Amino acid sequence: MEPLAFKIRPRDLKGFFGQEHLVGEEKPINVAIKNKHLFSFILWGPPGCGKTTLAKIYANALDAQVHELSAVSAKKEDVKRVITENSFNKLKILFLDEIHRFNKAQQDYLLPFVENGQITLIGATTENPSFEIISPLLSRCRVFVMNPLSEEELNKIIERAGWTISKETIDWLVQMANGDARQMITTIESTQNLYGEITIKTLNNTLQSKFLRYDKKGENHYNIISAFIKSMRASQPDAALYYLARMIDTGEDPKFIARRMVIFASEDIGMAQSTALVVANDVFRAVETIGLPEAAINLAHGVVFLSKCKKDRNSYEAFQMAMTDVKTFGNLAVPLNLQNPETKLMKELGYGKEYEKYSQESFLPDNLKNKKYLKSDD
């Protein structure tokens, strides 16, 4: 049976709700459709905001041959098949969902075909393209930012689904959805199939599923990453591995996890073992190059190493103290002996005078002379 989300998906902009900054009159995608303008672009926005629907509306309006791949499971061979397949003189568009899950090698393979126009790329991502997509590929695509759907827009989608639901239940459902139409529609459909009626009680029962409990923007997401970091900080590799497995199993972006590990290496381990930052960076590069599922092994390796390292937050805390002074005292003058005498006049005024490379005298501004941010090793 065809899922409800497919049944009610609009075929043109008239039935598309939200993203007025992109599809309203004289807005970029609306204009591109009217002018039959073919170009590559990335749709960046949270889950369920209409990225896939908008991509399909655009492609259909241009009467293009659309090939849809998910970067989670697609391989190089899948991309090659799309490129070589006969398009029968139609425009060829590759819609790559979750493009941020393509590793660097996969993106490098895709790049020349986008450059020479063999395919037009439409990517969809929930992650910042600046971090997730290689610069040469990103430079050949427009990036459109999409927003979570408003309560009014979600209400219109419920109306289109055609079910009779009480206003109280709709209000509850819209609040729960938090701008995510796909989750809302899936919940409605699952509840109807399970219980035959849609009430707050039956919706709550449906929402017990693991998938819906792990929302990347919700409280449980932050609880899991918090438990992960705190487990490594407490040198408990078993707990850290468990929370790592929880994140991997529920579809967390592995590069998000690796970035947190790089931060942890400096913030919590610091000078106790400086090689921790090297290891964390190597884990990030491995994740970027290899991708899941194999990159989970690299993540686990790094998690155990970081958990077992001695901990020292001294450099992190010292920096925070220095930042507090910057905000408190503002733009304090740099001592004259540290200033660069770029001109004859500056030299005559004493810029750089009596500067010594290895001086024991404090180089801090006068208001902070001899202040210590970094704790002594004694």
pLDDT, tens digit (0-9, with 9 covering 90-100), for 13-35: 998 999 999 999 999 999 999 99
CA 160 vs. chain centroid, Å, equals 31
Q: For tokens 């908008």, name the residue.
A: 54
Give the angle 269-306-247 at the CA atoms, nearest 5°.
120
Backbone Cα Rg of the chain = 27
Assess whether pLDDT exceeds 50 at residue 217.
no
Q: Distance between CA atoms of 246 and 330, rounded to whole angstroms?
A: 44
Helix (H), strand (E) at residue 337: none
Least confident range of 211-220, 316-325, 349-358, 369-378: 211-220
DSSP-derived 3-state class of residue 120: strand
Cα diameter, the chain: 88
Cβ atoms of 256 and 224 closer than 8 Å: no
Q: Average model confidence (pLDDT) for the chain?
A: 87
Q: Is residue 210 predicted with pLDDT exceeding 50?
A: no
Average pLDDT rounded to a whole number, residues 63-78: 90
Chain centre to alpha carbon of residue 353: 50
> pLDDT tens, 35-54?
999 999 999 998 889 999 99
What distance in Å separates the CA atoms of residue 235 and residue 308, rounded to the nearest whole number? Answer: 6
pLDDT for the residue numbered 213: 44
pLDDT at 371: 85
- Region 275-301: mean pLDDT is 93
Q: Which residues contact 244 (CB under 8 A, 6 or more apart)?
A: 228, 257, 296, 299, 300, 303
Three-state secondary structure of 248-309: HHCCCCHHHHHHHHHHHHHHHHHHHCCHHHHHHHHHHHHHHHHCCCCHHHHHHHHHHHHHHC
Closest of 176, 180, 299 to residue 246, by C-alpha: 299
Give the count of beta carbons closer than 10 Å to the beta carbon of residue 189: 19
**Whether residue 146 has pLDDT greater than 50:** yes
Per-residue pLDDT tens for 228-252? 999 999 999 999 999 999 888 877 8
- Examine the pLDDT at 376 and tell me if it is beyond 90: no
Q: What is the pLDDT of residue 220?
A: 61
Single pTM value for the model: 0.58
**Beta bridge partners of residue 120, listed in sequence order:** 93
pLDDT at position 2 is 65
Q: Which domains does the chain have, with CATH numbers?
A: 18-145 (3.40.50.300), 151-213 (1.10.8.60), 219-308 (1.20.272.10), 330-368 (no CATH)
